[in-house]
Amino acid sequence: MITGKADPSDRSDDIAQLRQHLDMPELNYQDISMLVGVQQALQRWPLLGESCRASSQGGLYAAVRQREGVSS
Amino acid sequence: MTSLALHGVRGGLGRSALLAALGYALQGMGERVLLIDLCPSNLLGLHFNLPLDTSEGWALAEREGRPASDAVYEVLDGLCLLPFGNLPGSSRHLVPDALAWRARQAELAEQFDWVLFDLPQPLADSAVNGIETDVRVLVAEAEMASHLLLGRRPVEHYDMLLVNRYDPASRLQSDLLMVWRDLFGERLPIQVVHRDEAFLEALACKAPLGHYAPQSLACRDVQSLAVRCLTRRGP
């Protein structure tokens, strides 16, 4: 059955083609649904959110902190 | 010969059962495997039908001035086991000598494709075991204590993160796995092994998982783990 949804396995190729088309090889692709899911998880579980914020001195959670900024 | 050890972010993560299952899976793929129990609790042999009252093991042999190879059991074709052994109460706190094991690994190199170490969980404030292996797998469960302890580990020191006893129906566990994929996914491959009663039943029947429940979900996960290990196999 054709659902109209893109095959996830094609997605990386799409991004590669977009990078090529725009001539921007450094273009940083972020999966928005993953980003939102992570953000919701950090809000749902207070200790998880606190642990990610608490390590602001270290680099471990830098990606999450960066993404918190994106979605807020 | 390639050496491998499972390191727990905490104790009680089922590493011995995982190691037994991995050894069995690698043997099933035609690899020659030696499993070495470095835990004084001396439980690894029970996964391979050794009698409960077996005292023989490398630590006992060492104490009696015999070579550790005296205590090797061939439990299947191409699958050997070196138990810790049962020492008298006063000497149970024997710490494996990292240098001696390095020398033994060199001796074993020609006889085995894989040497798998079952390491004791180090005390929180002590250095890591000191046993150096080619492949280092960090084991955690998708729960908060593991998450917090994982944040204190230098994840770049490991080759893989193994999430054991994973239950996809749990919201917390699926959330944690998603966060871990986001945090570590690019630096550390993540292997999931699903929670499966068959793991517990296998030990109760004194067999490794793959022998007891070859069709179980966890067994398929362990086979995936074994295939991943093969990609890191040395000469």
Residue A71 CB partners (closer than 8 Å, separation 6+): A35, A36, A39
Predicted ipTM?
Answer: 0.83
A13: which 2 tokens? 């190729």
- pLDDT tens sequence across A20-68: 777 766 656 566 777 788 999 999 999 999 998 876 444 445 555 555 5
Residue A71: pLDDT above 80?
Answer: no
pLDDT at A62: 52
- Listed as ranges, residues in chain B with pLDDT below 50 are 125
Decide if A47 and B151 are in contact by the 8 Å CB cutoff: no
CA atoms of B133 and B139, how far apart (whole Å): 15
CA atoms of B112 and B120, how far apart (whole Å): 23
Name which of A34, A41, A55 is nearest B151 (Cβ-Cβ). Answer: A55
CB-CB neighbours of B235 under 10 Å: 6
A47 CB neighbours in chain B (<8 A) are: 144
Decide if B175 and A34 are in contact by the 8 Å CB cutoff: no
Q: What predicted TM-score, i.e. pTM, was given to this entire model?
A: 0.84
pLDDT at B15: 97
CA distance A31 to chain B (A): 10
pLDDT at B234: 74
Which of A1 and B109 is assigned the larger pLDDT?
B109
